[in-house]
Amino acid sequence: MKAFRSILPRIGLATILIAVAAVARAQDYPTRPVRVIVQTAAGSSLDALARLVTEPLSQIWGKQVIIVNQAGAGGLNASRALADSAPDGYTLFMAGGSVFVALPILHPHLPFDVNQFEPIGFVADEPYAILVSSKLAVHSLAELIAYTKTQPSGVDAVAGTIGGLQHLTAERFRRASGAKLNMIHYPGTEAAMGDVITGRVPVMFQTILPVAGAVAAGTVRMLAIASDAPLPDYPNIPTVSETVPGFTSSGWSLMVAPHGTPAPIIQKINADLKTVLARPDVLKKFRALGDYTRPMSPQQLAAYIQNEHGVWTPIVQAVAAEAK
């Protein structure tokens, strides 16, 4: 018992020293370049967001921030790369929401748990829009829903890759509205846009940036946006919830670190990220991409992810069951 009591002060001192060392490392962080993994290819909207954020972070830190694109498998490749990285703050992950709401269900036997990644900060919301080809004689969301119900085989709709938030948004809308929609999956937006413009696949669920040019040209008609409220850049476009109560959906992005990254480093990155996201020039560029941000602490981000789990898990499970 005496020996045990004599060890206790040493354990307490060791814990204090470790905590002090972690704080000291955070104050000096970073002392070398930082890698940010992005789950999509260069040129994608998520990649563009990452570059808008990392350039000013490089300026704040005085160290280069390097973008590493790890595209493929709905974020699986990028998630694995983060899980294999040292938890020291020098490898971060700019992730899309589907990594957290879909990946664990669609791939239940992964050797790592994305829910153990350390939340750092929320980056952006990118609301989804529901669009139709201008060749389709439909001018409102209510008209579209009614029209699909008159078609014996339903109506084809672009829904992105299986398991992504674009697909899940379309599936959730189909169930909530009763619209008869057939999900058509495309690996990218460019090929899909051609088919929507010609009317071959007349309906599309998509974030705003990739379709803004077609909407402005009048070849594609935006019926509604799945945001909480009308967007400042599209004040005359109604929200989806005006027709389907409570329906909102956005492609959201966040920054996370490997499990076990010291809390002081997480807090420093969060504070610096908030500084970047408060800059008027960054916010202006975000809006040009159809993205909107909000400040969150790591704890608030963890709660946000948990809430999104509750919203999307039933949809992901239904999609997974239908795919079997």
* The CA-based dihedral angle spanning residues 315, 319, 322, 324, taken in that order and rounded to the nearest 10 degrees: -130
Shared domain for 91 and 141, answered yes or no, is no
Query: The tokens of 248 are what?
Result: 């909102």
Shared domain for 115 and 255, answered yes or no, is yes
Shared domain for 145 and 225, answered yes or no, is yes
DSSP letter string, 5-45: HHHHHHHHHHHHHHHHHHHHHHHH--SS-EEEEESS-TTSH
Shared domain for 211 and 133, answered yes or no, is yes
C-alpha to C-alpha distance for 154 and 214, rounded to whole angstroms: 24
Shared domain for 120 and 138, answered yes or no, is no
- 23, part of any domain: no
Helix (H) or strand (E) holding 56: helix 45-61
- 183, part of any domain: yes
Query: The tokens of 203 are what?
Result: 């309906």
φ, ψ of residue 246 to 5 degrees: the values are 80, 0
Shared domain for 112 and 131, answered yes or no, is no
Cβ neighbours around 244 below 10 Å, total: 21
pLDDT string in tens for the chain (324-residue length) = 666 566 666 655 444 444 445 555 678 999 999 999 999 989 888 999 999 999 999 999 999 999 999 998 889 999 999 999 999 999 999 999 999 999 988 888 999 999 999 999 999 999 999 999 999 999 999 999 999 999 999 999 999 888 889 999 999 999 999 999 999 998 778 889 999 999 999 999 999 988 999 999 999 999 999 999 999 889 999 999 999 999 999 999 999 999 999 999 999 999 999 999 999 999 999 998 889 999 999 999 999 999 999 999 999 999 888 876
CATH number where 140 lies: 3.40.190.10
The residue range of the domain holding 66 is 28-125+250-323
- 218, part of any domain: yes
Beta bridge partners of 124: 253
Cβ neighbours around 83 below 10 Å, total: 17
Q: How many domains does the chain have?
A: 2
* The CA-based dihedral angle spanning residues 233, 188, 125, 173, taken in that order and rounded to the nearest 10 degrees: 90
- pTM for the predicted model, two decimal places: 0.85
